[in-house]
């Protein structure tokens, strides 16, 4: 059970709700904070003061006064008109993250909504009801207006719900009990960065794991190519003190210890004096990505402690307009992380290409097949990795520089943070596929070094991959093998087994 307090939630709380279906409850201090801010809005209503979002229209219509008897209608109309997305539905985990983060923001007591509104969202989460939220619609301007409106529409008994079979059904058919919105509440339900923040937080968790797996696959490739472990010695990284670089080098160095393959050429003076950059500089690239990840995590952590709404209700009774809904911090962080993740994949693909090239692989057979010519080995698997690298390079172009003005030039600079975080998720999914190809290739290369044996970590990886990929031999249908390797890279199982053998990895 995740308890939402007036001070917010943690990234782990979000992962538990979005991905593991943890149940949610509101703490007493959150209920008290919402009641206190609602009392201020009710006082404004009684006094008839013109306040944006309470007694006026929205966006370019901010100067249009709304009569008291039409303010509830205004909130419902706002939700309907803003639920204007189009396209395929967002994944269930993204929508659950959005809903949780909107509850979190409301629970901080600066939005002027009744506790019943936040509780209604809690009940949707706990009932496993997921609004159908189309992929297109948000500019990250006043936050994620359209996606959040599709969520809010379900609260009032309208709109669509994502069924378990992936189809969509009406909110009422899904068993939703509608609520009636009061002044300010419709606006408070949609004015936030919850979609982009939810996607960024989940991407951060995924990137942290994949960057560690990139060290694992790099170590396996270096072993298969008879590379040196000397460039990964800690004293060589203390003289360039980037923390991510040191962590990545320590991982690779640890994974290569105890390897008869490495020992076989350690004192061979005819062996290559320096390895190629894709091997020797693996920690410099993956380490820089780790440092970029740390920056993104810092930004997301700040946003997770933020109250993102407009207007906000201050404890002294003032209701003030803000620009805190602008998604620039999240858009920049997501774009930066996408660039880093794309490069982690790019250098991994270069190691794959080197493993398959008979002129550079240090006596491994062409394309890692013992019978080249009749068999093509892993030739086309590398094509696949190269194609994905090319796609990631296109996706690494920043979305956050692509502002388009909207709302009659009232919203004349937008963040595109929703687009930035959506494509970041795609880049990471692609990175997983590239690392899967490297895993298969490196294991095949190590197998072909027999009777020499790899490190303990390498032996474990080889044994695990052999279960679905077999040993070197005639060509097989590769797609299922690659899918199994992808699942292995994405899961935490192989990493846990390797850590049990080699020690904890950063």
Catalytic residues: 52
Query: Which tokens is 164 given?
Result: 């378990």
Query: Which tokens is 253 given?
Result: 């160095």
Structural element, H or E, at residue 170: strand 168-170
CA dihedral 87, 89, 90, 96 (to 10 degrees): 140
Contact 178, 146 (CB under 8 A): no
d(CA 280, CA 354): 13
d(CA 159, CA 134): 11
Give the SS3 label for residue 122: helix
Q: What is the C-alpha radius of gyration for the chain, rounded to an integer number of angstroms?
A: 26
Strands (E), 246-354: 312-313, 319-320
For 293-303, give one letter per residue: b (16+ CB within 10 A) or e. Answer: beebbebbeeb
d(CA 482, CA 473): 16
d(CA 292, CA 284): 12
Contact 156, 180 (CB under 8 A): yes
Question: For the residues of 238-259, what is the DSSP string, one character each?
Answer: HTS--HHHHHHHHHHHHHTTT-
Cβ atoms within 10 Å, residue 220 = 29
Contact 404, 52 (CB under 8 A): no
Contact 14, 97 (CB under 8 A): yes
d(CA 330, CA 407): 22
């Amino acid at each position: 059970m995740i308890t939402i307090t007036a001070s917010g939630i943690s990234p782990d709380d979000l992962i538990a709700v979005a991905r593991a279906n943890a149940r949610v409850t509101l703490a007493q201090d959150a209920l008290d904070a919402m009641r206190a801010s609602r009392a201020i809005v009710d006082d404004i209503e009684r006094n008839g003061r013109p306040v944006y979002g309470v007694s006026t229209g929205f966006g370019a219509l901010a100067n249009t006064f709304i009569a008291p008897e039409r303010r509830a209608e205004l909130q419902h109309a706002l939700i309907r008109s803003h639920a204007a997305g189009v396209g395929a539905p967002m994944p269930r985990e993204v929508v659950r993250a959005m809903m949780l983060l909107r509850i979190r923001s409301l629970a901080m007591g600066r939005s002027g909504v009744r506790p019943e509104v936040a509780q209604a969202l809690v009940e949707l989460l706990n009932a496993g009801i997921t609004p159908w939220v189309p992929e297109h619609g948000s500019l990250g301007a006043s936050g994620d207006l359209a996606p959040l409106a599709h969520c809010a529409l379900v609260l009032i008994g309208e709109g669509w719900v994502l069924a378990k079979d992936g189809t969509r059904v009406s909110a009422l058919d899904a068993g939703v009990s509608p609520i009636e919105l009061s002044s300010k509440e419709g606006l408070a339900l949609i004015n936030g960065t919850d979609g982009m923040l939810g996607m960024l937080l989940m991407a951060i968790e995924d990137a942290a794991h994949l960057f560690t797996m990139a060290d694992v696959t790099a170590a396996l490739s270096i072993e298969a190519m008879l590379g040196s472990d000397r460039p990964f010695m800690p004293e060589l990284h203390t003289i360039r003190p980037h923390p991510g670089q040191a962590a990545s080098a320590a991982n690779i160095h640890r994974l290569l210890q105890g390897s008869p393959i490495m020992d076989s050429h350690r004192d061979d003076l005819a062996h290559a004096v320096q390895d190629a950059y894709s091997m020797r500089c693996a920690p410099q690239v993956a380490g820089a990505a780790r440092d970029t990840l740390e920056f993104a995590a810092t930004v997301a952590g700040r946003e997770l402690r933020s109250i993102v709404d407009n207007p906000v209700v201050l404890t002294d009774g003032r209701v003030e307009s803000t620009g805190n809904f602008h998604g620039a911090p999240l858009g920049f962080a997501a774009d930066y992380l996408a660039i880093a993740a794309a490069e982690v994949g790019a250098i991994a693909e270069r190691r794959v290409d080197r493993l398959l090239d008979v002129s550079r692989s240090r006596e491994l057979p062409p394309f890692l097949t013992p019978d080249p010519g009749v068999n093509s080995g892993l030739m086309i698997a590398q094509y696949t990795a190269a194609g994905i690298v090319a796609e990631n390079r296109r996706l690494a172009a920043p979305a956050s520089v692509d502002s388009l003005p909207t709302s009659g030039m009232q919203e004349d600079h937008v963040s595109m943070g929703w687009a930035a975080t959506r494509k970041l998720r795609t880049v990471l999914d692609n990175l997983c596929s590239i690392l899967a190809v490297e895993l298969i290739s490196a294991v095949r290369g190590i197998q072909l070094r027999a009777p020499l044996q790899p490190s303990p970590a390498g032996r474990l990886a080889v044994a695990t991959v052999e279960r679905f990929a077999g040993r070197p031999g005639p060509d097989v249908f590769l797609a299922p093998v690659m899918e199994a390797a992808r699942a292995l890279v994405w899961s935490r199982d192989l990493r846990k087994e390797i850590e049990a053998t080699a020690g904890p990895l950063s």
